[in-house]
Each structure stands twice: as structure tokens, then as C-alpha cells.
Structure 1
Amino acid sequence: MVLSVLLNIIYPPPANLAVTAMSVFNLVSLGSSGWMEVQGKHLQYAKLQSDNTNENNKNVKIVEKAKVPSQLGMFVMYAPACIAGFSSFALRPSGDLRFNLVRSAVTAHFLKRVLEVLFVHKFSGSMDAETMVTVSLSYLLSASTMIYNQELVEGLSEPVIDLKYVGIAMFLLGIGGNFYHHFLLSKLREDGEKGYKIPQGGLFSLVICPHYFFEILGFLGISCISQTLYPLCFTVGSTFYLMGRSYATREWYESKFEDDFPKEIKAMIPYIF
């Protein structure tokens, strides 16, 4: 039953071993990363960075990792994937409607991220250079594979159910909602402030990470525009990761603000999770 539904809404997977391997890799690695976030093993950026100490073993030698300024680190995370998106238009000027929509959405997603880093977000402190490189390569590979994957299905028979226009609406809602809540976060601090506050406004009254919720909605929109297996696997994997990250973020706020943090606020999905 599920298989028959899928065959009506997605293209058959392309006969390309690299794309198939990337589909599985993204689903497994992102899902595993989400579980690690729940277990307290966080990617080392933003508020969930640890000090890498080991209180249970005083004899363990602490290795000081290379650090970069947070703004530089976040810029390097997103810029290569953004460049890959723009490069696809130069390398392949023509393409069918669905292909152009997919690469436009991928490029717009990472361009928004770059512009937010430059002009919206407020930064303090530093982040691990290793995390910066790992995430940057992951985004670059994922963006490039998503565009290449769509090129592989050009000319094939369209899925029975056409979801690309639904996908456009979901993507625009996702990218707009994500930006709006990033903007609210940027307004929490006055110039020169470095402390954290409980976010307010928008959906922050319901969940602590509404920007993650809208990010997933944007990825789901790209999946509907594409209607191929790779972006669907990426979206499912990203959902698991962001659920784990939002769960850890909620726990961080609870520990940081104790009695001041509203208990009814969920992690990422209003009223549910």
C-alpha cells in the first residue's frame, strides 16, 4: 500500500549508485546525529557547545580544539552550498521547470542563510573549526547532490500526482517563517549584549525552536517540488536531527532559566513535541 502510494508521487530512483548511497547516508547519519543530540553529544556551535571537560576523570588530557569566530564559522558553513547552487545555473543554463524550481529553491535556502549571517544574526564567542568544516562539506555535498539528482530524472515520465506547486507554497512558507523567527531571535539582544534570554513573539509562545519547524517545512517543500527519493531522505533525516537538537535546546533553556521557563512550551512541533 505504502509502496504503491510512493510510486504515484515520486520518480523511480535513478540508476546512480552515488545518489542512492547519499540517500541512505543522509537518512542514517542525520538520524543518528539527532539521537546524539538527545544524548548530550552536540555539534559544537551556538549555545549547546560544551567545554570538553571530563569531571569524572581528572587524568584525562584535554585537547584544545581550533576555534574560529562564530560569524565566520557560520558563513563558511553555508557559503559553499550557496555557491554550488549559483554555479549550477552557469554550468547548466537550461533545464525543465521542475529542475529549475529545485535548484532555485536550494540556492535561495542557502543564500538566505548567508545573508542572515551577514546582516541579521548577532554573534558572540567562537565555534569549533572542525564542526565548521564538517557541516560546510555536508551542506555542499547535499546541495550539489540534490541538484544533480534532479538532473538525472529530467525527461522521465512525471509522477501521477503533481506536487510541485504545493511544494512551492510550502517552501515559501517555510523560508519566510524561518527568517521571521531568526529575526525575532536577533532582536533579543541589544548591541554589546552577550547573555541569553527566553525568546518571545511568533510561535515562541508554543515551541522553543519554531525556526527548526519552518526549516523542515521548507525542506519538505523542496521534496514536493522534486518528487524524488534523495530530498525526501534528506528531509526525513533532517527532521530527526532537528527534533533531537530542539529537544536538547529546550533542556538547555530549562536548566538555564529554571523556574522562569514556561513548562507548556514544546521543543519544535506546537502542542505535540
Structure 2
Amino acid sequence: MNVSALQNILFPPPPSIFVTTMSFITFGSLANAGFSELRGKHMQYSKFLNWNFNDQQSKRQQKQQKIIISSKIGMAILYTPAFLFGLASFLVFPDQGLRFFLIRLSLTIHFLKRVVEVLFVHKFGGSGVALDAAIPISLSYFLSTVTMIYAQHVSGEFPEPSIDLQYAGVGLFLLGIGGNLYHHYILSTLRRKGEKEYKIPKGGLFNLVICPHYLFEVLGFVGVSCIAQTPYTLAFTAGTTIYLMGRSYATKKWYLSKFEDFPKDVKAFLPFIF
């Protein structure tokens, strides 16, 4: 996409060192995390807790060194600060029109949904979350939410982009959040009460890709980017896409290592492609 096309769909970069710096940091850190997943170095939560280590002695040593908290508490820590800031932003920032309202609302709904899922939808295994993974992930979500909303706030001084994508963005956001919720619900039905073991997910798009919930999460953030039309939000969405593609690939490898009957033709992230 050339510069003139970007100028038609994006606000100019705001005169803010904070936003500019965060654009590079956010994209770089998320992309690096995605490539780390591809290389076999995984964020230490859920099924990937201690999966980085090849021999049992290293696993035992790593587990002893880490502070492990329950999955429910750990995952709630991930999303709650970002949700609270989204909620507080309606009080902190003055009204700046429909676009600013929609970006705050979509981010608040996204993280509220994640908190509600952690509390009432997800059924967790016994693996837990490493505290030293939960804190930086939570901080990343929080800072990204702060920056997306602040970038929108300071972009209010610029003229609107000539191509308005905010209504298309609302549609994509709703499709993404609905598809993500649906596939999280399918995952929650795999275990009966008291069961902890993992199973091969089926139903929905799970027959085509092992992580359709990640695919719809990316779609939701594409919607957020269309609502915002700011360079920072685009950088965040691009970095998130790379990270979740890497995480999806690692998830497929994990299933292949655990289940001999795992279908080999199921893709990781994009149906029929990747």
C-alpha cells in the first residue's frame, strides 16, 4: 500500500513522542513474541506452561523457580486492568464525537468480554499461569489500550480521513467478537465437570483450523483499526496478528505432540492456507 493510499484511510501520526515510541515498541514486541512462538519459546500460560523444556529435569527445575498461580486468577490479571482503563476513559477524556466514543466502547467491550469469559465460560486445566508471564502480558494489554485511546484523543485535531471506515469497523468488530466468543464456548464444552485433560476441539471452524478463536480475535482488532484509523492502532493490530499466527502454529505443534490421531490437514490459523 503506497503512502497516498494510507493518507486516505489513516489520520496523520500525532505530534506525540509517547505515541510514536509506543508504535515501534508495540509492533516490535508483539512481532518478536510471535517469532519466539515459532522458534519454540512460548509464553508460559495454559497448555504451554513449561513446554519450552525438552527434558524432565529442566522442567522440574523451571517449575520450582516459577511462581505459578491458578489459570482463572492469572487470566483475570491479564485483562482486568485494560478493561478498567477502558471504563475509566469515559470519565477521563471529554467527548470528541462518535469515532472516539466507538473506539473506547469497542476496547471496553473486548476486555469486559474476556473477563466475563474467564469468570463464567472457560473451563481451565490444571496447568496454571506463570506470574512472570501474567504481569508483562497484562501490562502490554493495559499500555496498548491506553495508547490506542490516547492516540485517538490527540488525533482529534486533524481532519477526518477521506475514506471513512468506522462503520465497516463496527461490523468487523462485532463479527470478530461474536466468532471468538462462539469458539471459546465450544472449547468450554469439551470438558465435563471435574475433567482437566485436554481434548481435540471439534465444531465451528475447528475442523479447518486449530485456533479459529485467534482468527476471530484478529478480525475483531481489524475492526478496531477501522474504527480508529490511527497509525498506532494499525501497528498494534499488525503485531497482534503476527503473535497470534505464531501462537496458533505452536498450538498445532502441541496438539500433534499430544494426540496421535490429530488430523494432519487442519491448519493453524487461516483455513486452507496456514
1:127-146 matches, within 5 Å, as: 127-146=129-148
- Tell me the equivalent position of 2:173: 171
List per-residue Cα deviations over 1:119-160 (Å, max 9, x = no partner).
000113221011111111111111111111100111421101
Number of residue pairs matched?
271
Matched AA of 1:149: A
1:249 alignment partner, one of 248, 251, 266: 251
- Tell me the equivalent position of 1:199: 201
- Tell me the equivalent position of 2:12: 12
1:1-273 matches, within 5 Å, as: 2-50=2-50, 53=53, 55=55, 62=62, 64-125=65-126, 126-258=128-260, 260-273=261-274
Percent identical:
55
1:51 deviates by 5.7
Q: Which runs of 5+ in 2 are unaligned?
A: none
Secondary structure at the aligned position of 2:177 is classed as: helix
The ranges of structure 1 where at least 4 consecutive aligned residues each deviate by more than 6 angstroms after the TM superposition are none
1:96 deviates by 1.0
CA distance in structure 1 between the aligned counterparts of 2:237 and 2:55, rounded to whole angstroms: 37
- Contact preservation (8 Å) 1:206, 1:270: yes
TM-score normalised according to structure 2 size: 0.95
Matched AA of 2:15: A
The 1:130–1:163 alpha-carbon spacing in structure 2 relative to 1, beyond 3 Å, is same
Q: Which runs of 5+ in 1 are unaligned?
A: none
CA distance in structure 2 between the aligned counterparts of 1:27 and 1:91, rounded to whole angstroms: 26
What's the Cα RMSD here? Answer: 1.7
Secondary structure at the aligned position of 2:69 is classed as: strand
- Contact preservation (8 Å) 2:176, 2:218: yes
CA distance in structure 2 between the aligned counterparts of 1:220 and 1:148, rounded to whole angstroms: 18
List per-residue Cα deviations over 1:85-109 (Å, max 9, x = no partner).
0000112252211000001001010
The 1:152–1:8 alpha-carbon spacing in structure 2 relative to 1, beyond 3 Å, is same
CA distance in structure 2 between the aligned counterparts of 1:75 and 1:150, rounded to whole angstroms: 26
- Contact preservation (8 Å) 1:102, 1:226: yes
CA distance in structure 1 between the aligned counterparts of 2:57 and 2:125, rounded to whole angstroms: 30
